[in-house]
Chains A and B, each alone.
Chain A
Amino acid sequence: MLLDRPTSAEEAIAAFLADPSLEPLVAAHRVLKPQPPRHAPWPDGLDPRLVAALHGRGVEALYTHQARAVEAVRAGKNTCVVTPTASGKTLCYNLPVLDAVARDPTARALYLFPTKALAADQLVELRSLADAAELGLKTHTYDGDTPPNVRSVVRAAGQVVITNPDMLHAAILPHHTKWFKLFENLQFVVIDELHTYRGLFGSHVANVIRRLRRVCRHYGADPVFICASATIANPADLAERLIEAPVELINDNGAPRGRKHILVINPPVANEHLGIRSSSVLTAQRLAERLIGGGVQTIAFARSRTAVEVLTSYLRETFAPLPGHPHTIRGYRGGYLPNERREIERGLRDGRVRGVVATNALELGIDIGGLDASISVGYPGTIASTWQQMGRAGRRTSTSLSALVCSSAPIDQFLASHPEYLFEQSPEHGLVNPDNLHVLLNHLRASSFELPVPAAERFGIAETPTLLDVLEEDGYLRHADDDRYYWSHENFPASTFSLRAGAPENVVIVDTSGDRNRVLGEVDLFAAPLLVHEKAIYIHEGVQHHVDRLDWDERKAYVTRTDVDYYTDADLGITLKVLEVFDEADEPPAGKRQRGEVMVAWKVTMFKKIKYHTHENVGWGSINVPEQEMHTTACWLVPPAELVNRYDRDTLDGALIGLARVARTTASLLLMCDPRDIGVLAQVQAPFTGRPTVFLYDAVPGGVGLSERLFGLTDELVAASAQLVTDCRCTEGCPSCVGPATEVGSRGKRVAAELLAGLGGG
């Protein structure tokens, strides 16, 4: 029953919104109307013990989406449930799975979660429901934290095995004979947090699922897949790409929701000329203080661990507890011990913790109940994560508030001036490319180790026989007389690659100043030539270090502490060669757009020594690091010829660099990916097109489908980029749009806008 009496938190939120000092900061304010619950009758024949257990926990009826999920799964359909945080999503799979196990104790289910913490959380949830129903369920997590003596028990007797795709890939599938009890009777595969399986990681996971299906077929099992996802544009599509089978989409959320205020907050401008705004952390701190001070239980999300610690300590100063009492403000991030995390989660649920500052560790479905308010400090990178963070605030009946505090970053400023991007339509797609050849070949090797591959079988793509022949030629497989390909190599192929490797390796920075060598930190392989080339000045926590030696083969940089009055700046030379054009759209008035396969090579050739304060160039040196290259997919934009002919080469160069920067920002927004997943390159005279060209490429060998998708969204890309540039309040370019004038030239911003207009974005 809805209560009319406003709670104190409700009053506090009203007071917060009524405060006149808030108004100048508000870039947008929307109110989501409350929604009453929609219930559905209990599905027929559900095990009475389960129904009784749910009654015992206060669940009198199922919400519509839960009932539909149960029915779809029982009808043997692969199902994908997409509903907001805290809408009872886990019941959508726990209920049909437990019901099946109650009926037939030999039935087995496999749960996949992207992290161990989520798996541990789910274990508790599943056990408590199963225990309440007195099912005697045998379930455990199976991951790096599972004690060795428990492992063999889980393998033989676990009815629900909770693990992650990495374990499935490296430990379960290659040893499937030890798991034959599971695979023989596997009826359900649950894939929660589906939206995290995108990009390269998702492409790997799709192939792990191909392998899983082969093993299931071998043991005569044909499990139903139950996926659950946060809101993205294409959940069913992503699920179908991952499991390669049709899915039933269930997205009518029947859970109730209270009224919700959503604010987009833009901190005040501190320096108009440079386009710099006040710190988003400090602004968030002030908002949080007012909310928590008014009795509103609040969660703040920060983008980095440091920001979490800073904000936590500020808030702790404000809300210092009485001596001898525990802090009511807690930090929560990766690196905290599991027990500590559980304790914070409990504190949030029972109200002892009044405020928590978290990284996105809390974004994924950890159960902390609903809070009164959420503050996202800086745009989390995707609209889906923004909604997930905001979903943390929201009670079933009372009013809640969520605020996004924008930083000075280009994406944040774009959202501040175009909040409709956030509210109206979600243009974000979870993209995977399971047929990325690098990824697919690795998994085909792993899969043929698991079971021989008949020549007639298809592993994802129609060209499987060609790939098998290639692997035979390379000495990995043997094509035997029975027309099957057998693993024929000493290696254990699943151990030769990981599902999550972005850059395969890092360069370790070793400080040799002290009496013994000390590891200072790491940089990824891509950035290493820029930051730790020989004679570079590498700055770590404010201390200068001179790089004495870079051992490229050993991936180690040796540094010593130093104190000099200059810093170093290396020039990265990127070259891009188009290998093949897949698609093109030639529209004479709006220039040219193409998509294809490219080879990107990068090499750092020289560095400059730049004096502090005066920025004089006081020397230079050459850098001897091997060139690195990758094959990937790209799309590129060529502005109309008659337009570019109006500008001199230098102006054009600056404007293209600016355009590329803006395009990367908007592309990451459109594609729901990290900006670092997309590489950009501006060439004033590209060898392939012979004209000024901006390339956007997948920054992953083989590509994951970003540029392909982007090619289909070129109009949106150009329009959004044009708008970002024209709406920016700076005069000659700033870090929030095309970049500062020192980098793009004094006419850079204007010309970039004209080029975008010429490309059709006017």
Chain B
Amino acid sequence: MSTRSLVERLAVVRTERARAPQPQPPPTPDRAQALARWFGASLSTCPGGAAVLVERAVALPPAVVAALAPLPEACYFDTETTGLSTGTGTVVFLAGLGRLEGNRIVVRQLLLPDYPHEPALLRLVAAELTRAERVVTYNGRGFDLPLLTTRLTVHGLFRELAALPERHDDLLPVARRLFRRPLGGARLADVEAGILGVIRDSDCPGSEVPERYFGYLRGGSPQGLADVLDHNLQDIVSLALLEAEVLRLRAGGWRDAGLLDRHGMAVELLRHGASAEALEVVESAMHPGVDQGEAHTLRRMATRLLLAAGEVDRAEALWAVATRRASADAAAAWLEVARIRERHRADLRGALDAAVTAGQVLDLAFALGRGGGMLAVGRVRLRVDARLRRLRRWVAAADRREARRPRESAVA
């Protein structure tokens, strides 16, 4: 096969072109130095190449500084990458690393001049992370850190990998718990806009980030990257603000919080061992206006907390309100009552009564068309039936024991 005919045949094969051909970049003696000059930044060199180091400091509000000061020293970490998959071919081209210094956060950004410099960038990033006691990220558990691990592994940098701090605080799960429902999403941008009061103007959308880097590599101006650096800088600052806000909420700030998922807050408090305060959060949330599903979740949580504190009466009373209307939710509430009576009062007959009522309520709800759909009713029905079967068996067993007892005493 001659090369010419191959090229011709390739023209046919290439049905979709990713983009129009670009002019090749003009040969630069050293891309790394040129890039550093453009940013007016320094070049950090290291075995395996060099990375551009852009260092900027941002002043933080005193309250934030005060809230974060007692914590172990953190490195606020966020990366910009050439794609969103965590497969081997996605490369970190920009790493932002923020550290608190006095009343400011100092952000060092390491930018990759071109692919061959990657080992140097990775070494510099690892060294910077290793200086801190913990890493703080937003979705770092799912993305940034696995990707960093992948890249370090590709280059065989196992020593650097082993030296990374063990403690990693990913703020995404916390933000989901506290803000996703009220905000309708838990992207960092949602939290910034809804909670932190951060306003980004002329921001570079995340979806454009890889293309900006590819554009630069193909010989475009680094101008497009300047926005990416700013975007990354703001991400790092927001991380610190968010961590401070979470601390504030946990320290009682939830009482006056506007947009907050109370149930999530209770979970968050429980995770930090504050169960009394968690119950307080839940009770504060159970006002009449709250919707059915939400109320049910809150009540379950409160029940858990009350039972743990030995307050069985209060736990059962919580459900009394919910059992009045014929609905699938009411049936579920009666099931909760059955569970409380069975487990926490050892009252099998009372539990059976509640379970029977649950079944009747469910039948009625279904007949009235208030069940919330076949599927919802079916799901509750399965649970009702399972509990009924079990309770009937136990009650029958208890009855048999009862029946035996007088005879035994008679023999004696």
Contact = CB atoms under 8 A, between A and B. Distances in A.
Nearest to B19: A475
Contact of A463 (B3, B22, B84, B115): B3
Interface string A472-497: 01111010111010111111111000
Given A180-B153, A466-B7, A475-B18, A491 B115 contact: no
A709 B82 CA distance: 44
A466 B6 contact: yes
Contact of A490 (B3, B5, B84, B218): B84
Interface stretch (B8-16, B164-172, B236-244, B321-329): B8-16
Contact of B83 (A438, A470, A481, A490): A490
B47 interface: no
B211 interface: yes
A176 interface: yes
A518 interface: no
Given A473-B21, A486-B115, A177 B154 contact: yes
A448 B89 contact: yes
B88 A449 contact: yes
A437 interface: yes
A275 interface: no
B18 A489 contact: yes
A491 B13 CA distance: 19
A476 B89 contact: no
A640 interface: no
A490 B211 contact: yes
B214 A475 contact: yes
B87 interface: yes
A452 interface: yes
B149 interface: yes
Contacts of B153: 177, 180
B382 interface: no
A492 B150 contact: no
A478 B115 CA distance: 9
B166 to A, nearest CB: 18
Nearest to A493: B89
Interface centre among B5, B12, B84, B114 (most CB of A within 10 A): B12
Contact of A466 (B3, B21, B22): B3
Given A449-B89, A487-B89, A480 B18 contact: no
B331 to A, nearest CB: 28
Given A441-B13, A474-B18, A481-B114, A580 B5 contact: yes
A758 interface: no
B38 to A, nearest CB: 18
A105 B214 CA distance: 44
Interface centre among B1, B10, B17, B19 (most CB of A within 10 A): B10
B211 A437 contact: no
A480 B115 CA distance: 7
Given A478-B115, A490-B84, A631-B12, A177 B210 contact: no
B9 A437 contact: yes
Interface string A460-476: 00010011001001111
Interface in A157-204: 174-178, 180
B67 interface: no
Contact of B1 (A438, A441, A463, A474): A463
A123 interface: no
A177 B150 contact: yes
B13 A438 contact: yes
A474 B17 contact: yes
A345 interface: no
B253 interface: no
A299 to B, nearest CB: 42
Interface centre among A481, A597, A702 (most CB of B within 10 A): A481
A451 interface: yes
Given A175-B88, A177-B153, A474-B17, A481 B210 contact: no
B9 A491 contact: no
B88 A451 contact: yes
B10 A470 contact: yes
Interface in B1-53: 1, 3, 5-7, 9-10, 12-14, 17-19, 21-22, 31
A580 B9 CA distance: 10
B116 interface: yes
Nearest to A448: B89
A405 B35 CA distance: 75
A473 B20 CA distance: 8
A490 B89 contact: no
Contact of B14 (A448, A470, A487): A470
A494 B210 CA distance: 19
B85 interface: yes
A441 B11 CA distance: 12
Nearest to B16: A474
A174 B114 contact: no
A450 interface: yes
Nearest to A474: B18
Contacts of B3: 463, 466
Contact of A450 (B7, B19, B89): B89
B23 to A, nearest CB: 11
A467 B19 contact: no
A89 to B, nearest CB: 35
Interface string B335-351: 00000000000000000
Contacts of B5: 580
Interface in A552-590: 580
B6 A463 contact: yes
Contacts of B1: 463
B149 A492 contact: no
A484 B14 CA distance: 22
Contacts of B84: 490
Contacts of B9: 437, 597, 631
A478 B369 CA distance: 62
A70 to B, nearest CB: 34
Interface in B212-235: 214, 217-218
A174 B115 contact: no
Contacts of A452: 115
B13 A492 contact: no
A216 to B, nearest CB: 14
Interface in A619-671: 631
Interface in B57-93: 82-89, 91
Interface centre among A463, A475, A478, A491 (most CB of B within 10 A): A475
Interface in A120-176: 174-176
A129 to B, nearest CB: 33
B303 to A, nearest CB: 30
A478 B217 contact: yes
B14 A176 contact: no
Contacts of A177: 88, 149-150, 153-154
Nearest to B6: A463
B116 A481 contact: yes
B217 A484 contact: no
A288 B116 CA distance: 68
B204 to A, nearest CB: 15
Interface of A: 174-178, 180, 437-438, 441, 448-452, 463, 466-467, 470, 473-476, 478, 480-482, 484, 486-494, 580, 597, 631, 702
Given A448-B89, A450-B88, A492-B85, 15 more contacts: A174-B87, A175-B87, A177-B88, A437-B6, A449-B88, A449-B89, A467-B10, A475-B18, A475-B19, A475-B214, A480-B114, A480-B116, A482-B116, A489-B18, A631-B13
26 contacts: A174-B87, A175-B86, A175-B87, A437-B10, A441-B10, A449-B87, A450-B89, A451-B154, A452-B115, A463-B1, A463-B3, A467-B10, A470-B14, A473-B21, A475-B18, A478-B115, A478-B214, A478-B217, A480-B114, A480-B115, A481-B116, A486-B91, A486-B115, A488-B82, A489-B82, A631-B9
Interface of B: 1, 3, 5-7, 9-10, 12-14, 17-19, 21-22, 31, 82-89, 91, 114-116, 149-150, 153-154, 210-211, 214, 217-218
Interchain residue pairs A-B with the least CB separation, the first 6 = A449-B89, A177-B153, A475-B18, A487-B89, A492-B85, A482-B116
